[in-house]
Amino acid sequence: MREIKVRIEGAKLDFEKAKAIADILANGTLIAWSDGKRSYPDVCCVCGDKPGWMVYGETRGNIKVEIDGYIFYYLSDEKAEH
């Protein structure tokens, strides 16, 4: 899985702004996310101590974008870098 980490300084992001940046960077379909309080999808997956939305994103996505505490998983047609 390709991972992209972004830190923003000098401005506070809300969910919509962080998602807009992640959408551009990932260039794919958003399949799972968390803002630290809420998450999507609300699925019951058992894989150690990881929450269901994270397991879903890690097993179905190929790009993870982290922006100032927001986490997004995407499915993209782009080939992952090794």
> pLDDT tens across 28-57, in order?
999 999 999 999 998 887 677 899 999 999
Q: Is residue 80 part of a domain?
A: no
Task: Give the number of domains in the chain.
Answer: 1
Which pLDDT score is estimated for 82? 44
pLDDT in the model for residue 5? 98
Domain containing residue 30: 2-75
What helix, strand, coil percent values describe the chain, rounded to 5? 25, 30, 45
SS3 34: strand
Identify which of 61, 63, 36 has the alpha carbon closest to the alpha carbon of residue 51. Answer: 36
- pTM of the full predicted structure? 0.90
Is 21 among the domain residues?
yes
Asked if residue 18 has pLDDT above 50, the reply is yes
Task: Indicate which CATH number applies to the domain containing 37.
Answer: 3.30.1490.340
